[in-house]
Structure 1
Amino acid sequence: MSRLGGRCLGAAAGLFIDRLVGEPPPDVHPVAGFGQIMERVEHTLWADRRLAGVAYAAVGVAIGAVGGRMMRSTASAVAVAAAGRELRRTALSIGEAISDGDLPAARATLPSLVGRDPAELDESAIAAAVIESVAENSVDAVIAPAFWGAVAGAPGAAAYRSINTMDAMVGRRNERYRNFGWAAARLDDAANYIPARIFAALVAVLNQERVRQIAKAVRQDAPSHPSPNAGVAEAAMAAVLDRKLGGPLDYEGVVENRPFLGTGSRPETDDIEAAVRLADRVEIAAVVLLMLTWLIDWLLGRSGG
């Protein structure tokens, strides 16, 4: 078995581990520890210049890659970097709160998924926010860790999670981070470019009756989204559900006039469960794809021997 086959097998195992046991507790989670380290790095390096942000991002990637190399296990690194189980659990809990008529509870939980202000969101707007998060974070927390684990092993998966974490910390477009967070945000865009399109492709494979709608939404609607990757994932999800996602939102006190994605009606509460089921199927398809790659590599190795 080649190194590629071994990495693919490890990435599949990592996703499977996350499905079984979920994330480590916050007080011992390596990602939380990384965040604390990067807060100190930011305190040391911060300046209102892109070059300072480049140095910050370089330090973070190096820490992530070294940490992954020390783990020595692609499966362990992907399991730590992935968070699909927690993403789907949180999304379903918000849907259940809405169904029970407990909008305050749904609004209180929503910030764990998205950064927008939930105070004035009604049931449909909360459902849209959750569905958009399920789509975007299925890339960030499932497909991308597995992809980079398959490409570069444990260092790749850990470095990817460091990039994604730095983007969440400093990639925001406010006065403090407009320049300093530029490098982290652009790195995150680059790291998620292929995984986002793998997600959309798997969505299409699993919903072949909607392939034309998915392709149209990704081609026509996604480019108007401020993120080159979230727009692709959200547009594919909107097309499958036949719902309209996106639109204006209040993000950390800043109103963003985001485009609408899809052509259906606005989401309803039941659509959250449908989105979670789709995300779950996409993760299973990703595991199958990784296993098939490992099997083909193994068979080629045997025939070559």
Structure 2
Amino acid sequence: MATPLTAAAVLAALRAEGVRVVEVGNWRTHNRNQKGAWGPVNGSIVHHTVTKGTASTVAMVRDGYSGLPGPLCHGMIAKDGRVHMVGWGRANHAGGGDPRVLDQVIAESYGTRPTPPTKGNANGVDGNARFYGWECENLGDGKDPWPKAQYEAIVRVQAALCRAHGWSAKSVIGHLEWSSDKVDPRGFSMADLRADVAERLKHPAGWSPTPTTPTTPTTPSTEEDPMAGLTREQIYDAVWRTDRMTPPEGRATKDNPTWAAESVLRDAASYAIRAEAAAVRVEAAAARIERALGTVTRGR
């Protein structure tokens, strides 16, 4: 058992592990602490979101939806590997789970995986008080790819928590290992994930495997491309719909409230169209003046 890390401490741990962090709004104080305890914490749970699009996913896990208020996790791990921190404290992510699994996680006493859970959200013990929660952007259909950058970020996040608390990788479980009525995360093995976390914990924080230098030319592997397998819409989301900027001083933002890259493009296009129209009007006015001057000259 452990006291939850402070917001400042988890930021330091994540960044030391090489995680790219995006801080979303008032995440440090955004929580459900008024509904119950958070802590002592015993481990970390990995989820998938069943969503597509980083910006909309961040909004959903931060604010929640009808019947389930946010935050729905502590951080959302996007396709591009960035971790969007949306809350810190009690979050609606784990729900009810199997007390036998909790005991096994506390003792780190299981083999490759905990005993399959027989209790779920309706009749299990409160997991929101006992676990960190990490939602991962994925449709959860077993077909949506897990880009290398995203999977590596999941490993780094879990290793950062384990390292900070002195836990082994067995303190990391999937939602499907906690609750009998859950299937997430789907698309990779939690046993494999724990093995990768355990390997990282053998090295200093921030460690990265040394790439093998090929002796002969090879065809690049799609697994090395963090955008491999993404649709055009997903690539657009990753590139244009995530970052936000501070609006230029004095610039009206009524039509561009978020100042995300996507809306900046629309704003620039709008200005360009208006500038082009103004140029046409100037040309027309110049032509009228030129004709008028010609008439005056001929009149002399």
Smaller-chain TM-score bracket:
under 0.3
- TM-score when normalising by structure 1: 0.23
Q: Which has the higher strand share?
A: 2
From the CA coordinates, give the structure whose radius of gyration is larger. 2
Q: Which has the higher contact order (CA 8 A, sep 6+)?
A: 1
Q: Which has the higher helix share?
A: 1
- TM-score when normalising by structure 2: 0.24
